[in-house]
């Protein structure tokens, strides 16, 4: 019996994937572990491998198709077998009987089909149609001589139903446009499609027209659309206030130099400033737990463990991997975990679960020579810390003028949930630990090992 190849679960939050590329040809001989296809979630790209050996029989799915998880996309079996999902086998099996226990599943030979217009549907077809919100009367049947709707008919109808991008759906809802009213022959409706409809209906013409030769248009889709929507929600749902201060990083620079000299050969890498500040922020969150929180409408959840998010720049857009239980990790383990998450995010192999559940986020633009900036809160968290570059500046020191390595910290917080004074105390705590980093090494047992 052929073995099924299905879309596995990629974390608790992923409900559907997009087929990016088939890597094995239909009818080819495959072995366990051979790469069959690549799929994309809203966060990363994954490769699905062959679970067994045999001849690959691909399903009716092509690159660009959006499928729910657990969908059977291929089977592996003998050369004379063809692709059949469990549901299709059930449908075909039902068609081989003249009658089943369900009155709606009565089948008769095509030659004796009654002349009335009643259309039957298999139980599986009815279930899938109900789940996907597709009226049975709108589906063209193919079973029992064109008289009976089977599951593949519902799936074909669902594939023809356009998909909306989140941004397109929001614009359409605000404009009162329904999908049924659109005459757009596309599998995916984007923001540009909705704007074009609005422009035509309102007879609006742009006041600025450019020669297309000098214009490059790129639709907002995929992870870029999700980032845009996430930031929009953050801006609309939070009352943002920014506090900035400057910390003397001399001791931090000295500590990193000593750690690099002592542990680089032992660890295989030297700790970065982001590693050190990440552990410092973790310690400060334990001292001021009201900042280690998430909000949901009128509820605030304060956490006793620190799930620290680290903003990472990737080719696919901004991602925020989460180091869970950061307060329990030694400096070495923290740094190793951070490097693993950053590599996975940039390679497109990070698990969606590693991008969820953060309680506080830090973002560092110091590598880009940025001194100060105002980051956007990673909603539903209630605050985020922006870290600028460590740079030599002329500052007063011990009643004299001195050149010291300084770093500017920017704390953005939701003023609905945290007042200015408590937020300032938290930022002062981070400054204190940066200026005397031995404090958190002493307070956290076994940090350097």
407 or 4: which carries more pLDDT confidence?
A: 407
Q: Is 57 assigned a catalytic role?
A: no
46 or 243: which carries more pLDDT confidence?
A: 243
Looking at the predicted structure, is the pLDDT value of residue 180 above 80? no
CA distance 245 to 113: 82
156: nearest Cα among 173, 138, 179, 174 = 138
Place of tokens 């089909």: 113
pLDDT the model gives residue 184: 58
88 or 36: which carries more pLDDT confidence?
A: 36
Looking at the predicted structure, is the pLDDT value of residue 255 above 50? yes
> Mean pLDDT across the chain, nearest whole number?
81
Distances (CA, A) of 382 to 57, 247, 286, 307, 410: 49, 23, 15, 13, 14
Looking at the predicted structure, is the pLDDT value of residue 369 above 80? yes
294 or 316: which carries more pLDDT confidence?
A: 294
Percent of all residues in the chain with a pLDDT value above 90, rounded to a whole number: 44
CA distance 318 to 311: 7
pLDDT average, residue stretch 52-78: 88
Looking at the predicted structure, is the pLDDT value of residue 111 above 50? no
pLDDT average, residue stretch 331-360: 92
Which positions ≥6 away from 356 have C-beta within 8 Å? 11, 12, 13, 322
pLDDT the model gives residue 187: 60
Looking at the predicted structure, is the pLDDT value of residue 51 above 80? yes
**Which residues partner with 56 through β-bridges?**
76
Looking at the predicted structure, is the pLDDT value of residue 272 above 90? yes
pLDDT the model gives residue 204: 41
Looking at the predicted structure, is the pLDDT value of residue 344 above 80? yes
17 or 373: which carries more pLDDT confidence?
A: 373
Among the residue ranges 70-84, 99-113, 184-198, 225-239, the one predicted with the least confidence is: 99-113
Q: What is the domain partition of the chain in residue ranges?
A: 163-220, 226-443
Confidence of residue 263 (pLDDT cuts 50, 70, 90): very high
Structure tokens that stand for 46 in this block: 């994954």
Confidence of residue 116 (pLDDT cuts 50, 70, 90): very low
* Residue 154 buriedness (CB in 10 A; 0-12 / 13-18 / 19+): buried
CA distance 380 to 100: 51
Catalytic, out of 34, 212, 419, 436: 419
Longest alpha-carbon distance in the chain: 104
User: What CATH class has 226-443?
Assistant: alpha beta
Structure tokens that stand for 362 in this block: 């830090």
Confidence of residue 207 (pLDDT cuts 50, 70, 90): very low
pLDDT one-digit tens code per residue, 301-329 = 999 999 999 999 988 788 999 999 999 99
CA distance 275 to 269: 12
CA distance 277 to 312: 15
Question: What's the alpha-carbon Rg for the chain, to the nearest Å?
Answer: 29
Q: Is 419 assigned a catalytic role?
A: yes
Looking at the predicted structure, is the pLDDT value of residue 109 above 60? no
Highest-confidence segment of 145-154, 194-203, 359-368: 359-368
pLDDT one-digit tens code per residue, 119-164 = 567 767 777 877 776 777 778 787 655 667 887 888 877 766 666 6
390 or 193: which carries more pLDDT confidence?
A: 390
pLDDT the model gives residue 62: 87
Looking at the predicted structure, is the pLDDT value of residue 355 above 50? yes
């Amino acid at each position: 019996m052929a073995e099924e190849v299905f879309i596995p679960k990629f974390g608790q939050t992923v409900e559907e994937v997009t087929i990016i590329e088939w890597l094995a040809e239909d009818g080819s001989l495959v072995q366990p572990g051979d790469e069959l296809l690549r799929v994309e979630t809203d966060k990363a790209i994954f490769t699905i491998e062959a679970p067994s050996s045999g001849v690959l029989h691909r399903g009716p799915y092509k690159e660009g198709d959006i499928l729910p998880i657990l969908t059977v996309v291929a089977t592996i079996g003998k050369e004379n077998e063809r692709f059949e999902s469990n549901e299709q086998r059930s449908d075909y099996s039902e068609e081989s009987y003249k009658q089943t226990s369900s009155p709606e599943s009565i089948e008769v030979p095509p030659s004796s089909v009654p002349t009335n217009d009643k259309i039957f549907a298999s139980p599986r077809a009815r279930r899938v149609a109900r789940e996907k919100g597709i009226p049975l009367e709108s589906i063209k049947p193919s079973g029992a001589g064109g008289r009976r709707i089977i599951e593949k008919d519902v799936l074909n109808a669902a594939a023809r139903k356009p998909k909306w991008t989140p941004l397109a759906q929001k614009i359409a809802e605000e404009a009162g446009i329904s999908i049924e009213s659109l005459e757009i022959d596309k599998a995916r409706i984007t923001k540009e499609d909705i704007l074009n409809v609005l422009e035509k209906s309102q007879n609006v013409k742009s006041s600025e027209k450019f020669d297309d030769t000098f214009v490059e248009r790129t639709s907002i889709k995929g992870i870029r659309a999700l980032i845009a929507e996430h930031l929009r929600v953050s801006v609309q749902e939070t009352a943002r206030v920014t506090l900035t201060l400057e910390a003397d990083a001399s001791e931090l620079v000295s500590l990193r130099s000593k750690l690099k000299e002592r542990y680089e050969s032992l660890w295989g890498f030297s700790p970065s400033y982001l590693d050190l500040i990440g552990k410092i922020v973790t310690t400060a969150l334990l001292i001021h737990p009201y900042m280690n929180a998430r909000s949901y409408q009128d509820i605030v959840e304060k956490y006793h463990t620190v799930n620290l998010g680290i903003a990472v720049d990737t080719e696919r857009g901004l991602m925020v991997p989460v180091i869970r239980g950061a307060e329990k990790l030694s400096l070495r383990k923290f740094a190793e975990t951070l490097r693993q998450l950053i590599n996975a995010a940039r390679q497109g192999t990070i698990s969606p679960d590693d991008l969820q559940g953060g309680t506080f986020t830090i973002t560092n633009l110091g590598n880009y020579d940025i001194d100060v900036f105002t980051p956007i809160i990673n909603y539903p968290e209630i605050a985020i810390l922006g870290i600028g570059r460590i740079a030599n500046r002329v500052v007063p020191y011990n009643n004299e003028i001195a050149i010291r390595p300084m770093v500017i910290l920017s704390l953005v917080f939701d003023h609905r949930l945290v007042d200015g004074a408590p937020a300032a105390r938290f930022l002062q705590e981070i400054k204190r630990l940066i200026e005397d980093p031995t404090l958190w090494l002493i307070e956290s047992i076994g940090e350097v090992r």
